Amino acid sequence: MTGTPVVDPIIDFRARAEELLPEGASYDACLSCGLCSSGCPASGLEGMNPRQFIRMAMLGMNEELSTTPWIWTCTQCQRCTYVCPMSIDIPALVGMARGAWPWEKKPKGIVRSCQAQLRFSSTSAMGLRSEDFIEIVDEIAAEVREQDDRFKRLNVPIDKQGARFFINQNSREPAVEPEELGPLWKIFDYVGADWTYASKGWAAENFCMFTGDAAAWEEMVRKRVDAVNELGCKVWVNTECGHSFYTIWKGIQRFGLEANFELGNLISYYAQWIREGRLPVNSEWNRDNLKFTIQDPCQLVRKSIGDPVASDLRYVARKLVGEENVIDMQPCRSANYCCGGGGGFLQAGMTENRRAYGKRKFDQIMATQADYVLTPCHNCHSQMEDIGEHYGGHYRVVHYWTLICLSLGILGENERKYLGPDLAEIGLQS
C-alpha cells in the first residue's frame, strides 16, 4: 500500500454510526470501557484501536478515519461487537471506510483478487477459468480412481441438474494444490451424497467483499446465487472456507437476492453423517495421543451461525482424534480471536502488521501445547502456518477432510502434505 489516500467524499462517520445502532442503544451510553480494544488483536497497529475509532467518529474526525490505513489491519471479525455491552458495530464502519478509499490506493492484492473475480464467470479470485477448472477436476478425479480401487467409480459431477447439494470450491486447491481436492470427493462418495460442482460461480472466495465495494460484493454473490438457482439444487454448501459462507449468507440478505435454496455448512454435515453412522470415523489411528486444538473461523462461527457450528466443530474433532486429545484454545467458540488471515489481510501485503496481529493467535495455540491445529478455513490455515513459522511454533495445521479420510483409511499418499512425519504412514494401503 502506498501513502495516504485522498478520499472524496469523506464519510460522515457519526451519522452512519447512528444508523447502525441497534434499537434503543445510544453512543452516549458507551462507557469507553475498552473491552473492544482489549479484545482486539489489531489494537495498537497503525496507532489505532476500536475504542479510539468510535470516539473519533463521535468527535467528527472524519478525515482521519477516512484515511487511516488501520482499516486494512482490522479484519472485520466482529469480536469488538461481540464483547461490547452496547453491541456497537465498528466493523461495519470499517467496511464503509474501505469502500470509500480510491481503488488505486487500496491494497493491491485485494483489488487484484476482486478484479479477477469480476472478470471470469468462475468468480475465481485466482483467475482460474471454468474450462481450466473442469480439466483439473477431471484429471485429479481420474488419478483418484486409478490410485484407489475403492474409488474406481468415483464421480465428480459438474452442472448436475437437480443435485441435492451445490458444493463450492476454494480456488486454492485447483490452482495450487490439486491433490487436496480428492479427500472431500472421497467423503461425498463414502456417504453417497448427491452433489455437484458448477462450471460457473463455483468459487468460494470473495475478495470483492473485502474491498468494501458493496456493488462488487453483490455482483459476486448474484452470480453464485444464479448458478445454484439454475441447477435447481436444494442446498448450497460451503467447502472448508470460512468467509465463503458469510459472504453468500450475508450477501443474500443485504442485497435482497432471490435464492431458492437453503444454505448449509460442511462441518454440520460432517457431524450429521457421523451421528447417522454414515461416516464411521474413529480415533484408533491416533495411537500416540497427538493433541489437537480447533480454530473457529470468525466468518463461519461468530459472524454467521454461532454456537451450533462451534459445537459441531468440536463434536467432529473429538470423534476424529479422541475426546481427551482435543484441547480447546482460549478463548474459543464465538469468543475466539481472529487469526489475522481474514478480511483480505493475507493478500494486503502488510506482512509486519499481519504477523503482529497473529501473535495473539500464536500465543493461544502455544498455550494448548497442541501438535496440530484443525480448521475448516483456508485463510486461517495459511495465516496460522505463517505465524507458526515466523514465531517458531512447532505445530501443524490441517483441514478436517484430511483427518476424516485418515481415520477412514482412505487418505492417499499424496494427500498428506499437511501431516507431519508422525502421521505420514498411518493407514496407507500397502
Shortest distance in whole angstroms from residue 338 CB to other proteins: 14
Q: Does 304 bind other proteins (CB under 8 A)?
A: yes
Select 45 or 116, whichever has its Cβ closest to other proteins: 45
Select 351 or 369, whichever has its Cβ closest to other proteins: 369
Shortest distance in whole angstroms from residue 165 CB to other proteins: 14
C-alpha 32/C-alpha 49 separation (Å) is 12
Shortest distance in whole angstroms from residue 254 CB to other proteins: 11
Q: Does 33 bind other proteins (CB under 8 A)?
A: yes
292 DSSP β-pair partners: 326, 372
The residues in 408-427 that bind other proteins, with binding defined as CB under 8 A, are none
Binding residue (CB under 8 A) for other proteins from 161, 282, 351, 369 = 369
Using CB under 8 A, which of the segments 103-111, 196-204, 252-260, 382-390 binds other proteins? 252-260
Q: Does 85 bind other proteins (CB under 8 A)?
A: yes
Select 47 or 421, whichever has its Cβ closest to other proteins: 47
Size of the site for other proteins (CB under 8 A): 47
The residues in 329-368 that bind other proteins, with binding defined as CB under 8 A, are 330-335, 359-360, 363-364, 366-367
Q: Does 253 bind other proteins (CB under 8 A)?
A: yes
C-alpha 345/C-alpha 178 separation (Å) is 24
Shortest distance in whole angstroms from residue 164 CB to other proteins: 14
Q: Does 306 bind other proteins (CB under 8 A)?
A: yes
Binding residue (CB under 8 A) for other proteins from 65, 74, 80, 84 = 84
Select 155 or 330, whichever has its Cβ closest to other proteins: 330
306: helix, coil or strand?
coil
Select 18 or 307, whichever has its Cβ closest to other proteins: 307
Binding flags for other proteins, 117-136, as an x/- string (CB under 8 A): --------------------
3-state SS, the chain, equals: CCCCCCCCCCCCHHHHHHHHCCCCCCHHHCCCCCHHHHCCCCCCHHHCCHHHHHHHHHCCCHHHHHHCHHHHCCCCCCHHHHHCCCCCCHHHHHHHHHHHCCHHHCCHHHHHHHHHHHHCCCCCCCCCCHHHHHHHHHHHHHHHHHHCHHHCCCCCCECCCCCCEEECECCHHHHHCHHHHHHHHHHHHHHCCCEEECCCCCECCCHHHHHCCHHHHHHHHHHHHHHHHHHCCCEEEECCCHHHHHHHHHHHHHCCCCCCCEEEEHHHHHHHHHHCCCCCCCCCCCCCCCCEEECCCCCCHHHHHCHHHHHHHHHHHHHHHCHHHECCCCCCHHHCCCCCCCCCHHHCCCHHHHHHHHHHHHHHHHHHCCCEEECCCHHHHHHHHHHHHHHCCCCEEECHHHHHHHHHCCCCHHHCCCCCCCCCCCCCCC
Select 161 or 253, whichever has its Cβ closest to other proteins: 253
Select 33 or 176, whichever has its Cβ closest to other proteins: 33
The residues in 38-57 that bind other proteins, with binding defined as CB under 8 A, are 38-39, 43-44, 49
Binding residue (CB under 8 A) for other proteins from 64, 132, 328, 385 = 328
Shortest distance in whole angstroms from residue 407 CB to other proteins: 23
1: helix, coil or strand?
coil
Shortest distance in whole angstroms from residue 287 CB to other proteins: 26
Kindly give, in sequence order, each residue whose CB lies less than 8 Å from that of residue 179, ignoring residues fewer than 6 positions away. 140, 412, 414, 415, 417
Select 109 or 251, whichever has its Cβ closest to other proteins: 251
Could you list the residues that contact other proteins (CB under 8 A)? 24, 31, 33-35, 37-39, 43-44, 49, 82-85, 87, 249, 252-253, 257, 259-263, 302-307, 310-311, 328, 330-335, 359-360, 363-364, 366-367, 369
